[in-house]
Each structure stands twice: as C-alpha cells, then as structure tokens.
Structure 1
Amino acid sequence: MGKSNFYARRKGSLRRTVLLCGALSFLLTACTGRNPSQEEPLVLPDSLKLTAELPGEYPDQAKTYTVDWLEVEEETAVQALFKGETREWTQWAVGRQLLSEDEEVCESLLIYDGVVEGGLSYSYDTKDFSLGGVASYYPGYPDTMEQLNGYYGYHDMQDYATEGDLSFKGQSEASEEIEELLYACGFPQLQLQQAYLLDAKTMNEHLALYNEYRTQIQESREEYEFTQEDECYLFHHRQVLDGIPFANLIWTKGTRDMSTETVMYSLYGKNGILQIEARQFYEIQEPLSADAVISPEEAVAAYVEEYTKALQFEETEIFAVELNYIVMYDEGAMYAKPAWILSSKRKTQYEEATVDEYGVTAVSAVTGILIQNGTDLR
C-alpha cells in the first residue's frame, strides 16, 4: 500500500501567521492574567491547519503528583454491583472474576489486579445481539485498518445523538447513577466526557452495514431487529484531578511496555447497567511540585517546531487541544504530570482508499517539550 507524497516547499514560502481573535485574547487576559499579545505570533506552514478552538481558561499552575494503581475491594464491588448469587472467584492473568450464569443472563464482575490494574469490568448480558456490532465503545478515533477494511461504517458514532434523553430515563440521571456506584467501589472523582444515545433506528441502520460487511468476508448474517426495549446510553467518563481530566487517548510514540491512559465506558439500558469497563485508574498520593502552565499557543508552537523539521510535509490538521494529566513511570514509581494533548489528522492515500490517519501528541505543560513515551520525564 503506497502513500501519496506531499513535497515540502521552502520554509519561507510555507509560513503564514495565525492571529488569535480579540475575543480569545480578552478571555485569556481576563481569566488567566496572561496577555497573548505579549507572546510571539503563532506561525504555521501552509500544510498545517489549526482548527482547534484553543482553551481560553486554564489554570496558572498545575501540580505533579505521585500516584499508584487504584485498588478495588472485592466485597465492596460485589455489594455495589453484583446481583447474582454466585460467590466463587476465578483467578485470571488480568485479575479475579466472579461469574453468575443461567439460561437468560450472564453476569460478570472482574477486579483488575494482574497484568491489567486499576479498576474493574462489570457486565449484565442478556445474551441478545452484542452492541459491539453497531457501536464503538471506546473513546478515541478510528484507526487506519478499521477504515481500510470497510467496517468503520457500522462503528461511526457520529450517527448517534449526543444530546437529549431516551424514553426510560434521563441522560444525567443514568450517568450519575453509574458514577455513584463507582464511588461506592472506591473510585476517584469522575467527569462525564461524552454521551451517546443508542436509538433503535440508528442501531438497525448500523446492523445493516455490519451484515453487509459480514457478507463480504463470507460470514453469516446477524438476524436481529432492535426495538425501543434495546435502546441505551453509551457513556465515556474520565478520572479528574484539580479540575484536569486524565488522558484517555494513547499519546505515546512507538512501542511501550505499560499502558497508562485511563479507559472507561459504560452502557445503561432500560433495566439498568449493562456494562462498565473502567481500568487504569489511579490513587492520588503526594503532590511533588506546583509549576506554571504554559499556554496552549506555546504547546502548538512546540508541535509546529517539530513538524517543520520534517524533510517533507504532509497536510495535517490540529483539531483538538486540551490540558490533561498523563502518567509517567520510572524505577517503580508513577507520576501524574500536566500536559497539553494535541489531536491531529491527515489524509493518506492507500491503494484501497483515502483515509484519515489520526495522531495524538503530548506536550509537557511545564517545559513545553514533546513527550515521547511514559518514561520521558523531561
């Protein structure tokens, strides 16, 4: 599969100046005490677009903390979540599982304390068609292979509404119920990032796309029709500390020996919780320092500086910039450090199709250095 080439022109002819609007300048000055007019103008190559709305409000300082994996007490989680009568645990590589199953329902509670840590997985499965065929549970962006293989269509979450309520319960009430149950299990402060309303009409449309894909790969079709009884919410929550959410996107470059981004999604239907996946959450320990936070403009400038070192430029768009905590590790210790997370995408031509390739970059909110991996403590 060959990518099309984007050839670089001379840097002098590539650059253009992006002037921040007066309203944003006012917000930055009023809310943070910073005056953007005193900073260098943000200069971008012609092949790099900045469509993200840069945050106007962010803290002057952010702390660095030592952290450790969240430990969930088994009995506490059972009392909060589990409905079945079974009380026999099975040990797996990822943790300990409690399972209760009959002809209609399979209920599972898994406490992560093995090769995966910091949370739990709960499901109440009525053994109907899996929603994984009509929705993408995880936060983040579609990967290249999803798009090239032709099955992203039935995972396209943009088809689902994000505002409003389903008939059986309000969105806020359902989200808060999940949060309260996890707080009862000892989870730290949570923040709702995104909600999707999985309605019957859209699920059936996605199911048709799913069956079309299964036909292409010579697999049997899933004969199922969603009704209002099957409708549910899909929630994405994040751990939050000092008003700053923990990153839930993979921001590291290259191979890695440990995953540190928090992962959480949940499904809530007419009869209550259908599924919770919440792992790689943290217990917050001692604050180590409080440091000044660089502006999002400075973070973008650091990205631009690295981008312009390339021998050839690819048309790239920075579409999101957000202040997060990322977790680093060194010699058995873990640290939560503030970083600006930049999300970008570029069009890439393959033999099969042109797709969006997504990238996530972490820029230290203290030093302005692009962070490469979990052990890059600069």
Structure 2
Amino acid sequence: MKSNRFQKGLMSVAVPALFLIISALAIKPSGLPVEYIAEQVMIRMVRNSFLVLALLLPIMAGMGINFALSLGAMAGQIGLITVQGLGMKGPEALFAAILISVPVALLLGIFAGQVLNRAKGREMITSMMLAFLINGVYQFVILYIFGSSILPFNANRSIILSKGVGVRNTLELTSSQAFDKLGDSFLTNLLGSPLYIGNFKIPFFTILLIVLLCLFTLWITRTKLGQDMRAVGQDMEVAANSGINVDRTRLWAISISTILAGIGQIIYLQNLGTMNTYTGHESSALYSAASLLIGGASVASAGILNAILGTGLFHTLFVLMPPAATTLTGNSMIGEYSRMVISYGIVALALVMHARRKIREKELDRQAFRGQGTPVAPKKAEG
C-alpha cells in the first residue's frame, strides 16, 4: 500500500517536474540573465494568476477545465471599453469596469451553466464551442453597437473607428497600471516608498486581490455550497441521491468562475496597458488551462498551489523558449511560433498524461485489492 501511494504521488508531480527540467535546460541557450528572467516571471505571475485561479471551482464541481473562461474575459473587456468610452480614468475606471463586467459575466455564466448541464460528461468540448459562439455575439456588439446611437461614447470618440461605429482594434488604456499605482500610493503613505525586490517593484494592490481570491476559494470550499461542489464532482448520482441539487450547484460553479474571469481579465489588461479589442480574450482560457495543468492539476483535481506553481512554471517556459529556440535553430520565426506550440502542446501532453495516470491508478488499485485477498468471515465461537 505504501508503494502504491508513493507511485501515485510520483505521478502527480510528473508534469511540473518535467517542465521544471525543460525550463532549466532552456536557460543557457536563451542567453537571458537570471535577474531578467526572474523579473519577467514575477510580472507575468502577478498579471495572470487571478485568471488561473478562476478555473478552480468548475474543476471542483466535476466540470473539468472551463474553456468558456473567455466569456468572462469578454465581459471584462466590455467593462473596460465602456469606461474608456465614458472618459473615465485611474483606479475609479477599473472599479467601474468591474461593476459593469459582473452582471454581464453573470448572465453569460448562467447561460453557459444551463448549456453545460445539458452536456454532462462533455463539458470541456462544449465550453470550448460556447466560447466560439459568444465570441460572435461579442464581435457584433463591439463592431455595430459601441459608437452607435445606442452607446455613442461622446465623452471619448477617439476609441471609435473612422466610419463612426465600432471600436478600434487596439486601445491604449487610460487606466493603465492604475491598480499598481494605487498600491504604490498606499505603500508610500504608509512606509514612505513602494516595496522592491531588486529592481522589481512589487504591485501590492494586485497581489492583495490575488490573496483575497485565494482566501475566497478556501472559504467557499468550507461552505455548504463548496461541500456540495465536492460531492457533485466526486459522483453526481450519489450527490443527487443525497438531496443535493446537482444542476444548481454546477450552475453556481460556472457562474462564479465566469465572474472571476472578468475581473481577472481587467487585472491582466490594466497591467499590460493595452488591449487587443477583438482578439485579446481568445487566449485567456488556453493559457490559464496550460498554467494550471503544468502545476500538476488534472481535469478532475486542482488546488491553489497547482494554480500558483503552474503559472510560474508556464511563464518561465514562455519567457525562455522563444530566445532559446531562436538560438538553437537560427530562425527567429521558429522562436515566435514556439509560444503557440508550447501552449497547445502543454494542454495536449498534460491531458494525455492525466489519462495515463488514471489508467495506472486503476491498475495499482486492482493490484492492491488482489494483494489484500478476499476477507474471510470469522468462525463462531464453539460452546
């Protein structure tokens, strides 16, 4: 039994160990200083961790990886475009964008949850198709509603295309790094200056939001809703027989995930400073899923540690591979294409390894059962 537990534990760390080794091997051919690598990884971790953490609740509820995460990302971008069109700036604009994104994300989450409840066992592919469907609606709204008489955005027409309707392809956000500046201002008033690790200035407020999301995730797992999600994730039939409303529980999980994704996309874009209006949301689910899977998570089990560790490993590889591939092949285009190969390849490899791990775990369980033998009923005492 101890040997079986050890093998199961070894299989659970196989994915992060593999990518840790690949990252270590890529440092030298990349030619990048270690200090630069560390700084870039920290920036990307702060920028992306919120989105990755938004994936946890649907996995807990047995719905697998939520590839409809981009629905929430679209809601976040709608919030940002709206506040920019209204001429708002600074942290107030970001908080207003969050307030706008929440009801939009909630509606999209409820819609997604209703659809996924009718596609039990096929949630991941269905959520991926949902993302394509809602993307069409999003494109229509951005191209033909924003800037029209319905939403004229008279306070800031500079974001509108020259034809008078539709939003420009790329927006320079007026609220760029406003959360970071808010944290710097707070620390300056409290300590006299922002906090630094070497040359890296700590984005205090963004990190605070990530910590609050981690605490929220831990809290919700201890509530009645969280316990219901775990029960549904383990066995829907048993959960239903126990009196749990399975469909409603799954609906809560996907709705909360979508709302968190909208907030995460706002955090990501304000840190980046620019927004690709029509394509900025498309990679959110893919990169978040890749990050989570690298951290040792699976389509059936994931935790906060998997999300944070995986985000660090994924973006370490994301920073190192393009220059390393360029050095090894002498072709800069191959270096750039390696980013997409990494992201899609990681998801595919992790899913394959997860399937092999499940098969191996079943074999170990059968071996353990055979090793125990068939229990024999004790004989009745004579006399």
- TM-score band by shorter chain is under 0.3
| Superposition TM-score, scaled by structure 2 size | 0.25
TM-score normalised by structure 1 residue count:
0.25
- Which structure has more relative contact order (CA 8 Å, sep 6+)? It is 2
Specify which structure has the higher proportion of helix. Answer: 2
